[in-house]
Chains A and B, each alone.
Chain A
């Protein structure tokens, strides 16, 4: 039963990764693309990590996966902000 839930979570997570990549290709400008990368990919990673954590059977590995997710969350929010700010600065002073 837990396996079914885990596979379900991982599949939905992969779906969000795919949506993030489709957004990256379809969206018209840099700032819009950052939306797809930060939000969809973070949710995808969270769901995949949660799915794997359910089936590891090890508390340490489950906690480690959550830690990885939190660190990636912080890193992607920070790097999206840096890219967005830099792109805006360059646009303001050509």
Chain B
């Protein structure tokens, strides 16, 4: 994605966000337009436009997976804590990351906390420290699947 396209895209995104927040009142653009321009300027000063070409098909595949996994995550943890005795065996584990882009790693780490039974604890030295609610369950396969989906969004083939 060129810098020009990225600016147009964030302009459209922020304007849409403002429209949503203000409820579409025409006079609100008096404040909205300067705020959108300032937000883009601030984001560029902070280096936030250094995103690679985000793949829209990749995003379209990640979203349903993410939604489904987070529903499973909620159901799983609810069932575990409501059982008597609780079906838990908490412990820490390390997951070696295959992703390289910092943004991709951040998105993956945040997704991990919503997957069934895993919680991202620390991102350090190409490894993700996770806390598992049941350390005997097989969460690695699931993490790899979500990691690949995140990689596709950032154009990283894993």
Contact = CB atoms under 8 A, between A and B. Distances in A.
A77 B113 contact: yes
Interface of A: 15-16, 19-20, 22-23, 26-29, 31-32, 34-36, 38-40, 42-44, 46, 60, 63-64, 67, 73-74, 77-78, 80-81, 84-85, 88
Q: Top 7 closest A-B pairs, CB basis?
A: A43-B74, A23-B81, A19-B78, A77-B110, A39-B73, A31-B131, A84-B121
| B interface, size bucket | 20 to 34
Contacts of B52: none
B77 A36 contact: yes
B113 A81 contact: yes
Contact of A20 (B21, B78, B122): B78
A81 B121 CA distance: 5
Contacts of A43: 70-71, 73-75
Nearest to A58: B23
